[in-house]
A = this chain, B = another copy of it.
């Protein structure tokens, strides 16, 4: 800890928020690097290649069986969650809407390109020609990967520069791809909705970075909402809430897998709303509700287990518990974390993603371990848990253990990776805001004049009335 403290002091120099050289440089160079790497590595997969149609005729397959038609509607919903959902969820700060939506778009646009490469190298490298073959499923996976970085952004919202965010995303995507490969391929855990690989990893990655970037003298005057900014945030909240069923079913297996994942998520989210409202009302004097707590609506713990036979009542129970725990987290844990653990969590991602992610992982492990041939059928077990190839003889109880192991890996990567990247981001070269100018769009954006300065509307009505009369 002493070493960390001294490193901190060494980094605490006067801040210069001018990013006129660093930001364009990072954007240009990295985008050029993407173009070159895409040129070497990335090609269309069989279903998006022009030869598909020809091949189709040969085997008399219908055009509609292209994976595009199974997944594209879900992809677009996920896309909306990434850009509108996460973007507008973070507009609740009174003077940071530009940064919330704008930087969200910037890092997501970079992150998805890098994710296509990283995930491609690990998952879909064609051994024949050494190329990565992409299709609609790759696009969904890239969006998923980006989601973990946007979750992490929530913890440091308003306290970092766009250059820091780009660096955070570069490392975040890299760590994600490695962690995902270990959890899904090496450990053979299942994680349809990404409770472990996306939420747990992303949240602890962000919290660790926030811990490393702790600002003891943070000025909190702008760290709050106004009436209209809360309504904007509700746009983000709702689009996240509504589209979780698409998120969790987007890469489930075709047919009943996607169908069941959507149902489970739909039910779980409904239950979450009721318990969130209950706890929120109980916790306040006079039973008033708190809009900030209501961002918790976006919480889902039916991630890992989404495509399992969780049963409708099981989904409700998960949602019920998740709503209680997340809301209590908002009320008791966030202040505790800030005061004693030195973690400043702007959006409360510990409640929104970290705890639900861990719960989701545990639910997944239990549900997997409890899976029986009676419920799933012999074939069902194979399909749902992918007991094929070298995993052919695996038992559900073993699978439960592997799920738990996967959760631990996600935690380690999140915390470990966050601390390392946090060290890098403390260097005084990234143009981040001084303590008394955090949460202020003024630093990185040309902010238009204030509303009060709208010129008084001229008395035009009289003029018209005279003409009409």
C-alpha gap A447/B231 in the complex (Å): 11
Chain B residues with CB below 8 A from A255, complex form: 47, 52-53, 56, 63, 66, 68
C-alpha gap A461/B445 in the complex (Å): 11
C-alpha gap A56/B80 in the complex (Å): 32
> In the complex the two chains form, is A230's CB within 8 Å of B448's CB?
yes
A66-B255, A255-B52, A258-B68 as given contacts; A449 in contact with B226, CB under 8 Å: yes
Chain B residues with CB below 8 A from A246, complex form: 76
> In the complex the two chains form, is A38's CB within 8 Å of B442's CB?
no
Looking at the complex, which one of B139, B260, B313, B437 makes contact with A460 (CB distance below 8 Å)?
A: B437
A363 interface contact, C-beta 8 A: no
> In the complex the two chains form, is A383's CB within 8 Å of B282's CB?
no
A64-B64, A77-B76, A231-B232 as given contacts; A282 in contact with B20, CB under 8 Å: yes
> In the complex the two chains form, is A64's CB within 8 Å of B254's CB?
yes
Chain B residues with CB below 8 A from A229, complex form: 448
A235 interface contact, C-beta 8 A: yes
A376 interface contact, C-beta 8 A: yes
Chain B residues with CB below 8 A from A448, complex form: 94, 224-227, 229-230, 291
Q: Tell me the minimal C-beta distance from A432 to chain B in angstroms.
A: 13
> In the complex the two chains form, is A273's CB within 8 Å of B316's CB?
no
A238-B101, A242-B84 as given contacts; A263 in contact with B380, CB under 8 Å: no
C-alpha gap A449/B457 in the complex (Å): 11
Render A268-299 as a binary contact track against B, CB cut-off 8 A, 1 for contact. Answer: 01111111011101101111111100100100
Q: Please tell me which stretch of A102-110, A121-129, A353-361, A399-407 contacts chain B, meaning at least 4 of its Cβ atoms lie within 8 angstroms of it.
A: A102-110
> In the complex the two chains form, is A445's CB within 8 Å of B42's CB?
no
Render A135-171 as a binary contact track against B, CB cut-off 8 A, 1 for contact. Answer: 1100100000000000000000000001000000000
A246 (CB) vs chain B CBs: closest residue: B76
Q: Please tell me which stretch of A26-34, A183-191, A203-211, A419-427 contacts chain B, meaning at least 4 of its Cβ atoms lie within 8 angstroms of it.
A: A26-34
A20-B282, A254-B63 as given contacts; A262 in contact with B68, CB under 8 Å: yes
Number of copies: 3
Chain B residues with CB below 8 A from A320, complex form: 31-32, 35
Render A312-345 as a binary contact track against B, CB cut-off 8 A, 1 for contact. Answer: 1100110010000000000000000000000000
C-alpha gap A74/B30 in the complex (Å): 32
Looking at the complex, which one of B290, B312, B436 makes contact with A445 (CB distance below 8 Å)?
A: B290
Q: Please tell me which stretch of A11-19, A192-200, A389-397 contacts chain B, meaning at least 4 of its Cβ atoms lie within 8 angstroms of it.
A: A11-19
Q: Tell me the minimal C-beta distance from A250 to chain B in angstroms.
A: 11
> In the complex the two chains form, is A39's CB within 8 Å of B313's CB?
yes
> In the complex the two chains form, is A465's CB within 8 Å of B285's CB?
yes
> In the complex the two chains form, is B35's CB within 8 Å of A271's CB?
yes
Chain B residues with CB below 8 A from A54, complex form: 377, 379-380
Chain B residues with CB below 8 A from A254, complex form: 63-64, 66
Chain B residues with CB below 8 A from A313, complex form: 35-36, 38-39, 42
> In the complex the two chains form, is A23's CB within 8 Å of B278's CB?
yes
A181 interface contact, C-beta 8 A: no
C-alpha gap A225/B231 in the complex (Å): 15
Chain B residues with CB below 8 A from A294, complex form: 102
> In the complex the two chains form, is B291's CB within 8 Å of A446's CB?
yes
> In the complex the two chains form, is B135's CB within 8 Å of A275's CB?
no
C-alpha gap A286/B23 in the complex (Å): 11
- Could you list 9 further interchain pairs (A-B, Cβ under 8 angstroms) beyond the known A50-B383, A98-B291, A230-B448? A17-B286, A42-B312, A50-B376, A53-B255, A68-B258, A68-B259, A76-B246, A98-B289, A291-B445
Shortest 8 CB-CB distances between A and B: which pairs? A20-B287, A109-B273, A50-B380, A27-B278, A38-B313, A39-B313, A63-B254, A48-B259
30 contacts between A and B (CB under 8 A): A16-B464, A16-B467, A18-B467, A23-B287, A27-B275, A27-B277, A27-B278, A31-B316, A38-B267, A42-B313, A49-B309, A50-B376, A50-B380, A64-B64, A66-B259, A68-B262, A72-B262, A76-B243, A83-B238, A83-B241, A84-B238, A84-B239, A88-B235, A97-B227, A105-B241, A106-B274, A134-B263, A231-B232, A235-B235, A437-B460
